Amino acid sequence: MRLAKERCIVSSTSHILAIMERLRTCSFVFAVLGSIIIAPQDRSTTKAARIDELISRYQQCGYFNGSILVAEHGKVIYEKGVGYANMRMHTPNTPQTKFGIASISKQFTAALVLMQVTNGNLRLDATVSEILPWYRKDTGSRITIEQLLRHTSGLPPDYDAPEFGDGVAAARHAEPEAFAQSVCQRTLVSEPGTRWNYSNCGYILLGIILEQITATSFDEILQSQLLRPLEMNDTGMDNNSLVRLGGAVGYQRRPGPRVCTRPVY
């Protein structure tokens, strides 16, 4: 979900990104733990020191830039900011740096949808057309909530659509519903329920559906149903202000020594 209606995080069009106080990079943590297990070490060396040594190597080779937190049995044993949140401004990363989490926010949307299902306010077999009367009937009457959740709606791949970039096409549709009406009603590429295709549009539609059935903004649903109860006080919606307020800029490593900025999807 875009931490916020898929629209939120999915594209720089809506510019609503989910933010987290600490970035937990699971694959990297696995690499760290793997190194701890297999590498012979002096018994006096602490895990934190060994982790720091490994991270320093990754940083020196240009393979890691961000913030890391490692916890063991519920206790934080290591946390550190590495490199720069903004390379142009030389703003360093710290454990408190906020990052846009892009499509990781889809899990928040999915959780909120399933909570509505559990509460009896929504059915998994309900169709898009039942809830969003403006959506094209020939496809909306065949796509269910469950299929949107599972990326089996039949909607075409959309990750390379210009509307999901940072150019003129994206700027035309800043609001989620306007974006969905323009971009997310394309002809299906497969019969709903028969084929998996990763879909940003599917989660944009789920965010709009949540607002429709609750008559509440996605931001408030997110805060009241998930973030406040879980005391996730450093997570929330970014209304286009993340970088301006000192949050991390998104970067993409490409062949060669240069690191390029890119939109965060």
| pLDDT tens, position by position, 47-83 | 999 999 999 999 998 889 999 999 999 899 999 999 9
Q: Minimal CA–CA distance to 250: which of 263, 265, 237?
A: 263
Question: Structure tokens of 18?
Answer: 């989910």
In order of 42, 74, 129, 208, 257, the CA distances from 77 in angstroms are: 18, 9, 50, 40, 32
List phi, psi (to 5°) of 72. -135, 120
Identify the pLDDT of residue 168: 58
Identify the pLDDT of residue 246: 78
Q: Minimal CA–CA distance to 3: which of 249, 174, 236, 262?
A: 236
All CATH 3.40.710.10 domain ranges in the chain, comma separated: 7-21+102-239
- Residues (pLDDT < 50) of the chain are 1-39, 42-45
List phi, psi (to 5°) of 13. -65, -50
Pairing status of strand 236-239 against strand 16-20: antiparallel
Q: How is domain 7-21+102-239 classified at the CATH fold level? A: Beta-lactamase (3.40.710)
Identify the pLDDT of residue 217: 95
Buried b (16+ CB within 10 A) or exposed e, 188-224: beeebeeeebebbbbbbbbbbbbbeebeeebbebbbe
3-state secondary structure of 4: coil
Whole-model pTM: value is 0.76
